[in-house]
Structure 1
Amino acid sequence: MARVRAGEKEEGLEKHIGLLKLAQTLSFLLIFMAGIIIGLAASSHIDRYFNSLPQMLSSSSSSASLQTIPDYSNCTVIHRDCSNDDDDGGGVKAAKKKDEIRDCWSVDGFVRPEEVRHRMSDDELFWRASMVPVKEEYPYDRVPKVAFMFLARGPLPMLPLWEKFFRGNEKYLSVYVHTPPGYDMNVSSDSPFYDRQVPSQKVAWGSPLLTDAEKRLLANALLDFSNERFVLLSESCVPVYNFTTVYSYLINSAYSFVDSYDEPTRYGRGRYSRKMLPDIKLHNWRKGSQWFEVNRKIAIYIISDSKYYSLFKQYCRPACYPDEHYIPTLLNMFHGSVNANRSVTWVDWSIGGPHPATYGADNITEGFLQSIRKNETDCLYNEEPTSLCFLFARKFAPSALAPLMNLSSTVMGF
């Protein structure tokens, strides 16, 4: 009897354990199914939340925050409005413009801005102009161009001579003009100078504002990726060779042309400030002509610099002149090996004083121009001696225009 009862107890215990395992399994299944249901419900809620998020943000954004985000939907990469901003009020010009199909974001608009007008600040302009493509090949037919940058105090009295010099060579050049704010150049629509005034600011001789204008011209010219060489000119500058000679000379040069030399007098080293230490030392200090010519790599380096330029703006003030020291010193410190250490713009300093000689109508003769064209002292071009040292000359008074025009074809070749 005892064995029977023990067997019954074991059998009952096994059934009890089996029921417990079944209940445990069912509990796990119920919990698992509940988790799936809760997960699906939560996922649906999250989807609805994120799908409605843009609408929530749009409706809750304040008018102030909307004003801080520029609308570039109708703009090129240089912030130019693709719609006609010269509408006469009646919508005539705007309607005509809308008939033209234009792609604001095409690569052509990026590498070759159609106009020089924009609304960028200097900081935005320098940042945009400092962009350098890593890919060496160009995705378009690139013809290297020379950027002629005019830093003018107002009118360009030599403009007819320059127009004659440029004629027929528009494919190989770009023109940029920096004038006082508000000044409007009155030129015909077929002139290379038409609509080529860059957004400008006030300029004062001998101050950092003058160097600001130089950098502003460089940056605007860099927006055109086809510009390979950059030459700074004044309203009193003239070409002394034809365009073909000038273009070939600059495009094929292995060097940039920036006057940079050590001047051991109060007009050179005497303008150095020890407050520039330790970044700029006295043995780095250089002086040179304001009228430079540089290649694209050097131009990008100049407009990208903030560290050294900030020192010049602080400590190089009259009788220290940044336009005579900043670029010559910067290139001497970091790019001296690719600089010819001379200018391609002839200037006569023989009269002494703070300004060079100015030449008027009575001075303009064939012999005078030939003396500039064929310098008595040879210079180096791509490490070879040459008598062709100067491509441009200054300063010329407005009265010199007529005789220069008369001699341009027989002496200068254009």
Structure 2
Amino acid sequence: MKNYKLQQGSPPPNIKLLSAQMQLQNLVFYFLLFCSGLALGLTLSFYLRDFSFNLQLNQLFDLPATAPPELSPLPLPLQMTNTNLTRVGSPPPPPHSPPLQITKNNLSRVGLKQYLKPPSAMHDMKDEELLWRASMAPRIREFPLNRTPKVAFMFLTKGPLPLAPLWELFFKGHEGLYTIYVHPNPSFNGTVPEDSVFHGRRIPSKVVRWGEFNMVEAERRLLANALLDWSNQRFVLLSESCIPLFNFSTIYNYLMGSKKAFVEAYDLPGPVGQGRYNPKMRPTIKLEQWRKGSQWFEMDRELAIEVVSDKTYFPSFGRYCVPSCYADEHYLPTFVSVRFWRRNSNRTLTWVDWSKGGPHPSRFLRTDVTIDFLKMLRHGSRCEYNGKSTNICYLFARKFTLHALDRLLRFAPKLMQFN
């Protein structure tokens, strides 16, 4: 019995084993609890950080906290207008500006008509920009939409148009079949009534001196502006002293039916013809190619594009056709004869009287205007038109002064059957 007597205060062995097992279980429990807490803490930390980042983004870009509902697709593309376009280089809009409201009222199709729409007659293009744009021509000849061909009436003037009332009667009732372009001296400050066909038809101009090279530059500037309208198919250059000899329908049909241009060109020996040729123009222009003619012309669109695109003959005239050369009487006759003589009738459509001699043609005053005189201008000669003989040789005439306007308004409308 002495061997099984336990020492006083000492637990039995089975009690010690049980205690060690409980301590081990507690250690494992606390370890698992620690790991669970650590995992939970890491998870909450990543979630809160992501939430805080998204919240900052939403505040920065003013986005809604929740995803917006799905937007329905727009039926048409947004039309670009001056009201919703900002010029490149302007400051950005404020960050909290209200979004653009897109509705059916400000949506429309931006098609070929809008693309081809010509700019305002008064624009800020430089000459080189204007000529470049006017020289564009489509490779596909068939036009993809219906259009009415128009005649471009281009007036090269010193200032006002003294015979404008007669032209107003001529154009009346034929809207949509013509366009008008006026190139006055830039110093001219006259105004045109809003109800006039000439209102808003002035183009950017430069100083022009009759007989000098800048006269040819002005003619090309008029052509280039008229070419910006793709509906223009025939181009007529007129002065402020020109009058029509027939009504609009007759002139329109005559020009639209023509197979050739009307640029007067002839070889003239002597000081006012071949004597103006400068040998420095060789080899670009030879003496046998030199031509003289009237500056007042009529041509189709294809030839007009060739004129504004000329980078060979035009610069040569600019360098070597000195003031006594009178480039306006020689450039187009020479250029057209050398390059496009088969497409030219070699005559002008503007009648003028050189019978009295001198450096300038005759001017017509009030007493010169009679019914018989106008009839003679209309049918007093014969010429060739599309290979056939005709007595309609001139469609316009010059030089008529302001004093002749009264009688022109009395006789012309009835004789020429205006309206």
Q: TM > 0.5 between the two?
A: yes
**1:138–1:305 CA distance, 2 compared to 1 (3 A):** same
Distance 1:239 1:283 in 2: 35
Larger deviation, residues 358-367 vs 189-198: 189-198
Contact 1:111 1:226 in 2 (8 A): no
Q: Does 2:405 correspond to 1:401?
A: yes
Q: What displacement does 1:274 show? A: 0.7
Larger Rg: 2
Distance 2:122 2:107 in 1: 18
Of 106, 115, 118, 2:120 maps to 115
Q: Give deviations 1:153-190, integer Å, cap 9, x for gaps.
A: 00100001001100011111000000111424422223
Residue 335 of structure 1 aligns to a residue whose secondary structure is helix
Distance 2:305 2:369 in 1: 38
Q: What displacement does 1:318 show? A: 2.5
Q: What displacement does 1:316 show? A: 1.0
Contact 2:377 2:394 in 1 (8 A): yes
Distance 2:251 2:116 in 1: 24
1:4-403, aligned counterparts within 5 Å? 106-113=111-118, 115-376=120-381, 378-403=382-407
Residue 149 of structure 1 aligns to a residue whose secondary structure is strand
Contact 2:169 2:413 in 1 (8 A): no
Contact 1:346 1:394 in 2 (8 A): yes
When normalised by structure 2's length, the TM-score is: 0.73
**What one-letter code is carried by the residue in structure 2 that aligns with 1:334?**
R
Distance 1:237 1:367 in 2: 18
Distance 2:146 2:212 in 1: 41
Distance 1:104 1:262 in 2: 55
Instruction: Tell me the residue number matched to 2:33.
Output: none
Q: Give deviations 1:195-247, integer Å, cap 9, x for gaps.
A: 00011111111111111000000000000000000000000000010000000
**1:102–1:195 CA distance, 2 compared to 1 (3 A):** farther
Distance 2:106 2:145 in 1: 20
Q: Give deviations 1:343-364, integer Å, cap 9, x for gaps.
A: 0000111111111100010000
Distance 1:249 1:183 in 2: 34
Q: CA RMSD in A?
A: 1.8
Q: What displacement does 1:108 show? A: 2.1
Contact 2:213 2:323 in 1 (8 A): no
**1:104–1:216 CA distance, 2 compared to 1 (3 A):** farther
Instruction: Tell me the residue number matched to 1:57.
Output: none
Structure with greater helix percent = 1
Q: What displacement does 1:269 show? A: 0.5
Distance 1:317 1:141 in 2: 46
Q: What displacement does 1:104 show? A: 11
Q: What displacement does 1:258 show? A: 0.4
Larger deviation, residues 114-123 vs 259-268: 114-123
**1:311–1:243 CA distance, 2 compared to 1 (3 A):** same
Q: Give deviations 1:48-97, integer Å, cap 9, x for gaps.
A: xxxxxxxxxxxxxxxxxxxxxxxxx867xxxxx9xxxxxxxxxxxxxxxx
Distance 1:102 1:130 in 2: 33
Q: What displacement does 1:315 show? A: 1.1
Q: Give deviations 1:257-282, integer Å, cap 9, x for gaps.
A: 00000001111111111100001001
* Structure 1: unaligned runs, 5 residues or longer: 1-72, 76-80, 82-99
Distance 2:188 2:179 in 1: 20
**What one-letter code is carried by the residue in structure 1 that aligns with 2:162?**
P
Q: What displacement does 1:411 show? A: 1.3
